[in-house]
Amino acid sequence: MTAQGAPHGRGRPCLITRRARFSASHLYWLPELSDDDNRARFGPCSQAPGHGHNYELIVAMAGPLDANGMVLNLSEVKHAIKSEITAQLDFRSLNGVWPEFDLGLPGGSLPTTEALARVIWTRLVTHLPVVGIRLYESETLWADVLGDTMEAFVSIRTHFAAAHRLAREELSQADNEAIYGKCARPHGHGHNYLLDVTVRGQIEPRTGMVCDLAALQQLVEDLVVEPFDHTFLNKDVPHFASCVPTAENIALHIADILSAPVAATGARLHKVRLQESPNNAAEVFAETPQLDLMPQALEAALVS
């Protein structure tokens, strides 16, 4: 307690997160398109009666601490998320469950991850001081919404296995080991890399998509995973013949490779995150970094 009897930190701003889960199904099919066009546009996701996911929702809220040392009463937070979101969506088909996803109504869109995250924001913000929503459709696909706009961030995760050696050719082995330690050993070593690619853009009102997800996944596969997987980076990837393949340099090179192709999908490459090991990761922003406080807090919340 302070000298005046108030708890330390009262009135200071704080960010808190709350996690919730629900299971739901969805179908990507637009009535104005033919069956063939729907299949070409949405692939297996267009197959009736749809498919399901175990969704994970993270709600980030901010505000000053009260006299009880809390931003909000967590029981009230839990109740609001349950009553407004999870109780309405759990074990339901997302298509038409809310007016926003009724394709027969003006403004109705497909219930994509990013569109669903945005609608969750709009439904919670009148009940809670929401500053961000993260919605995981799976461990390899999630979306972030940071405000009441049509902009969203969509992230995909993939992986590749590769070997590398960290050494500068102009230095002696002793000097390289002084800089890079064991990573400078002559025959190299390998990693199972996890690659997260985050794109940013406007949610298209009808499809509910920031970009063609299948096209995004395919270009990452074609331009990064296939050329890098099961290679010795120093010898098999021309760029690293003269560039030390640290996690930082690999992430930077991937960002350079993907920036223009991602733009061709209608989105913008926001960042690339490359995890080399459980203890080591590098993150490169492809556009001017903004204060990504909410995504950072959500990442921290998910570590536990």
pLDDT digits (tens, 9 = 90+) for 51-77: 999 999 999 999 999 888 899 999 999
1, 94: one domain = yes
pLDDT at 271: 95
* Mean pLDDT value of segment 170-199: 97
141, 191: one domain = no
Percent of the chain past pLDDT 90, that is, above it, reads: 87
How far is it, in rounded angstroms, from Cα 298 to Cα 221?
Answer: 27
pLDDT at 194: 98
* Mean pLDDT value of segment 282-288: 90
28, 131: one domain = yes
Query: Among 84, 118, 146, which residue terminates a domain?
Result: 146
Residue-wise pLDDT tens digits, 32-58? 999 999 999 999 999 999 999 999 999
Residue-wise pLDDT tens digits, 95-125? 989 999 999 999 999 999 999 999 999 999 9
Query: Among 146, 178, 212, which residue terminates a domain?
Result: 146
Model confidence at 301, in pLDDT bands (50, 70, 90)?
low
Query: Among 146, 170, 204, which residue terminates a domain?
Result: 146
134, 225: one domain = no
pLDDT at 1: 37
pLDDT at 295: 60
Half-sphere exposure of residue 88: CA atoms within 13 angstroms, side-chain side? 17
pLDDT at 279 over 60: yes
260, 173: one domain = yes
pLDDT at 294: 54
Residue-wise pLDDT tens digits, 228-255? 999 999 999 999 999 999 999 999 999 9
120, 217: one domain = no
- Which are the catalytic amino acids? 183, 230, 276
193, 245: one domain = yes
Token couple for 122: 């709009």
pLDDT at 188: 96
For position 275, which CATH number holds? 3.30.479.10
Domain count, the chain: 2
137, 3: one domain = yes
Q: Which domain holds residue 25?
A: 1-146
* Mean pLDDT value of segment 8-35: 89
188, 299: one domain = yes
SS (H, E, C) the chain: CCCCCCCCCECCEEEEEEEEEEEEEECCCCCCCCHHHHHHHHHHHHCCCCEEEEEEEEEEEEEEECCCCCCCCHHHHHHHHHHHHHHHHCCEECCCCCHHHCCCCCCCCCCCHHHHHHHHHHHHCCCCCEEEEEEEEECCEEEEECCCCCEEEEEEEEEEEEEECCCCCCCCHHHHHHHHHHHHCCCCEEEEEEEEEEEEEECCCCCCCCCCHHHHHHHHHHHHHHHHCCEEHHHHCHHHHCCCCCHHHHHHHHHHHHHHHHHHCCCEEEEEEEEEECCEEEEEECCCCCCCHHHHHHHHHHHC
137, 158: one domain = no
103, 182: one domain = no
Percent of the chain past pLDDT 70, that is, above it, reads: 91
132, 191: one domain = no
pTM for the structure as a whole: 0.90
Model confidence at 8, in pLDDT bands (50, 70, 90)?
low
Cβ count near 86 (within 10 Å): 18
